[in-house]
Amino acid sequence: MTVSLRVSGTVRVPGDKSISHRALLITAIAGGEARVRDILPSADVHATARVLRALGIPVPALTSELVLRSAGLAALRTPTEWLDCGNSGTTTRLMAGVVAGRAGLTGTFVGDASLSRRPMQRIARPLSQMGAEFTFERGDGLPMQVRGAALQGISWRSEHASAQIKSAILLAAVSSGVEATVYEPTRSRDHTERMLSACGATVEVLPDGARVMAGASLRAVDVDVPADPSSAAFFVALAALAHGGELVLPDVCLNPTRTGGFDILQRMGVQLRVDHERVVGGETIGTLVVAPNTLVATSVRGDEVARAIDELPLVACVAARAVGETRITDASELRVKESDRISAVVANLRAIGVDAEELPDGLVVRGSDQPLAGHVITHGDHRLAMAFGILGAVPGNTITIDDPACVDVSFPGFWDTLARATQARAPAGTSTDAASNALRRLIVAIDGPAASGKSSTSQWVAKRLGIRHVDSGAFYRALTALAVRSGLAPEQWTETGVLAEAGRVSLGLTERSVVPLVDGERHEEELRGAAVTAQVSRVAVMPAVRAWVNDRVREAGASTDVVVDGRDIGTTVFPDAPLKIFLIADPWERARRRLVQRLERKPTDSEIAVETEELVARDARDATQSRPDPSAITIDTTSLTQEEQVERIVALAEAVRGRPHPPSTS
Backbone phi, then psi, for 523, in 5-degree steps?
-135, 55
Q: Name which of 221, 223, 218, 258 is nearest 98 in CA terms.
A: 218
How far is residue 241's CA from residue 317's CA, in Å, rounded to a whole number? 10
Burial track 21-44 (b if 16+ CB lie within 10 A, e otherwise): bbbbbbbbbbbeebebebbbbbbb
Of 44, 224, 251, 310, catalytic = 310
Single-letter amino acid code for the residue at 306: A
Give me the sign of the Cα torsion angle 172, 176, 181, 187. positive
How far is residue 145's CA from residue 55's CA, in Å, rounded to a whole number? 14
Dihedral of CA atoms 335, 166, 148, 505 in degrees, nearest 10, equals -30
How far is residue 171's CA from residue 505's CA, in Å, rounded to a whole number? 31
- As beta bridge partners, residue 636 has 584
Q: Is 310 a catalytic residue?
A: yes
E-assigned strands of 178-264? 180-183, 203-206, 209-212, 223-224, 244-245, 247-253
C-beta separation of 52 from 92 below 8 A: no
Strands 513-518 and 443-447: unpaired
C-beta separation of 583 from 453 below 8 A: yes
Contacts of 72 (CB under 8 A, 6+ apart): 28, 29, 30, 31, 32, 218
From residue 290, how far is each of 8, 237, 422, 636 by CA, in Å? 10, 9, 14, 56
Q: Name which of 309, 313, 310 is nearest 331 in CA terms.
A: 309
From residue 520, how far is each of 143, 376, 407, 559 by CA, in Å? 15, 17, 17, 18
Distance of CA 11 to the CA centre of its chain: 21
- As beta bridge partners, residue 129 has none
Q: Is 600 exposed, middle or buried (0-12, 13-18, 19+ CB in 10 A)?
A: exposed
Single-letter amino acid code for the residue at 450: A
Contacts of 197 (CB under 8 A, 6+ apart): 203, 282
Catalytic residue numbers, as ranges: 310
